[in-house]
Amino acid sequence: SQQGEEDPQALSIQEGENATMNCSYKTSINNLQWYRQNSGRGLVHLILIRSNEREKHSGRLRVTLDTSKKSSSLLITASRAADTASYFCAPSLYNFNKFYFGSGTKLNVKP
């Protein structure tokens, strides 16, 4: 399949700890996006990283991209209960503007 696959499927941590989620994909990409979805809500865009970038930061979020391994990771530092959500990666195939989703990582941050 063409979509990103997130790992782990579920992650439970204590408030204040760091959370790392991984994404693997199969084909060459132009860019990769990470999204958050709270239960029953819409998709919120977090970060886009381009194929020529290796790392990007946004607040407590850090995304890395390794195109040789076809993988990306999302690190949330000093997690909060409000970070409880599902997180999805969405790689955009090379030369195409479309993007696909995997099944996501369900993060639970316990207060």
Q: Which residues sit at the interface with other proteins, rule CB under 8 A?
A: 30-31, 33, 35, 41-45, 48, 50, 88, 90, 92, 97-104
Q: Which is nearer to other proteins, 41 or 54 (CB)?
A: 41
- We find the least distance from the C-beta atom of residue 16 to other proteins, in angstroms, to be 29
Q: How many CB atoms are closer than 10 A to CB 81? A: 11
Alpha helices in the chain (DSSP H): none
Q: Which residues pair with 104 in a beta bridge?
A: none
**55-58 vs 5-7, strand pairing mode:** unpaired
Q: Which residues pair with 71 in a beta bridge?
A: 24, 66
- We find the least distance from the C-beta atom of residue 1 to other proteins, in angstroms, to be 11
What is the separation, in whole angstroms, between the first and last Cα of the chain? 37
29 phi/psi in degrees, rounded to 5: -130, 160
- We find the least distance from the C-beta atom of residue 45 to other proteins, in angstroms, to be 5
- We find the least distance from the C-beta atom of residue 73 to other proteins, in angstroms, to be 19
Q: Which is nearer to other proteins, 13 or 101 (CB)?
A: 101
Q: Which is nearer to other proteins, 71 or 92 (CB)?
A: 92
